Structure 1
Amino acid sequence: MKKTAQQLIDEANAIVDQITPTEANALLCKDGVLFVDLRDIRELWREGTIPGAMSAPRGMLEFWVDPECKYHRKAFDDAEKLVLFCASAWRSALAARALLEMGMNNVCHLEGGFTAWRDNGLEIAP
């Protein structure tokens, strides 16, 4: 194996903006900010999510973002800033890097993921 998963995550985190749960919470009600939950739907059912977040399974994100793809979702066109998150900020780091490589510069991810959000006592939607 040439690279481990952790090495890929570390490389992504070196180039992707990360925001703390407190910083993310301050963006929650801002116009143009789209929170994107990359977790599996079963994780959302079990644990809840950040209020107003759009569920975008990790395996579909690049397709949903790409305006030339038949799976494109318009919500990504309207967003001025994307805040990606998953359970522990591993999937979101890799996803944010992929979006940067696709030419999107309005992407960041939640440091510590949904676990950090929850552990900071921030609001959770069912």
Structure 2
Amino acid sequence: MKKVADMVTEARARIEEWDVARLMATPDAVVVDIRDVRERAKGFIPGSVHAPRGMLEFWWDPDSPYHREVFAGPGPYVLHCAMGWRSALAAATLTDMGFEVAHLDGGFEAWTAADGAVEMPKPRD
């Protein structure tokens, strides 16, 4: 049986990884938050696009009936999750599909540890 840690290590070896400093220095990057809605409700990187991991392939593929126009642009696209494991696997999947993406090493935890800005969701009526 293959361990998830091994899968993450393999993915990280073949994808582009950005650190927080690079992301902060690249204001035109499209930050894609792949965490679930419960995680995002606790705060998110300002301006990030929410795309739950389970929908990524469908939202990214221009031939999919679920395609989202935000993923048709030039990027650069940087995926993140909480710690960087899920985003590494997701970036590997999108890379396999032919898309140019990177992932944020350390995820949202690294962002907040570096005092990155955090936005809270607006309350619902």
TM-score scaled by length of structure 1: 0.92
Report what 1:35 is aligned to.
31
Q: State the secondary structure of the residue aligned to 2:83.
A: coil
Q: How far 1:79 moved relative to its partner? A: 3.5
Report what 1:44 is aligned to.
40
C-alpha distance in structure 2 between counterparts of 1:80 and 1:119, whole Å: 25
| Ranges in structure 2 where 5+ consecutive residues have no aligned partner | 121-125
CA contact (8 A) 1:34 1:79 kept: no
Report what 1:98 is aligned to.
93
CA contact (8 A) 1:86 1:114 kept: yes
1:107 aligns with 2:101: yes
Report what 2:123 is aligned to.
none
**How large is the RMSD of aligned CA atoms in angstroms?**
0.8
Report what 1:69 is aligned to.
64
C-alpha distance in structure 2 between counterparts of 1:125 and 1:23, whole Å: 20
1:125 aligns with 2:124: no
Q: State the secondary structure of the residue aligned to 2:77.
A: strand
CA contact (8 A) 1:19 1:108 kept: yes
| Ranges in structure 1 where 5+ consecutive residues have no aligned partner | none
Aligned residues with identical type, % of pairs: 44
**Count of residues in correspondence between the two structures:** 120
C-alpha distance in structure 2 between counterparts of 1:54 and 1:117, whole Å: 16
The C-alpha deviation readout for 1:4-37, integer Å capped at 9, x for no partner, is: 101110000000111111111111x22xx21100
More helix by share: 1
After the TM superposition, list the runs of 4 or more consecutive aligned residues in structure 1 that deviate by more than 3 angstroms: none
Q: State the secondary structure of the residue aligned to 1:69.
A: coil
